[in-house]
Amino acid sequence: MPCVYLDGIWFCGPGVRHDWVCGLDGCAHESEFLCDYPVGHGKTCDMPLCKEHAVKVGPNFHLCPVHAAMFHREAQGREVNPTPGKLMLVK
């Protein structure tokens, strides 16, 4: 059964949606962001992420730790064009 920790209170039960909770193993914090990493076909990874686990790489553009690592390898410190679904490197 999914549980989420919201404002100091635990909520558990079928009413708790899976995307309310951070998708990282062992983390039950409220998700505030979704991973914006494009995975093809116009879709993004969409892993729910709490404040702590979301890696901000642009305005309103967040990545899960796995994709953040991939992204940093690709971008090599360059800036990105933060259009969801269209992760483009700005030369």
Could you identify the residue written with the tokens 């796995």? 66
Question: Could you tell me the smallest distance in angstroms from the CB atom of residue 87 to Zn ion?
Answer: 11
Kindly tell me which residue out of 4, 21, 64, 87 binds Zn ion, with binding defined by CB under 5 A. 64
The only residue of 22, 34, 57, 87 in contact with Zn ion, by rule CB under 5 A: 22
Among 21, 50, 55, 57, interactor with Zn ion by CB under 5 A: 50
Helices (H) and strands (E) in the chain, counts: 1, 10
* List of residues 6+ apart from 46 with CB closer than 8 A: 19, 34, 35
How far is residue 91's CA from residue 79's CA, in Å, rounded to a whole number?
Answer: 8
Binds Zn ion by CB under 5 A, chosen from 5, 16, 32, 45: 45
Please give the residue ranges that form the binding site for Zn ion (CB under 5 A).
Answer: 22, 24, 27, 29, 35, 37, 45, 47, 50, 53, 64, 67
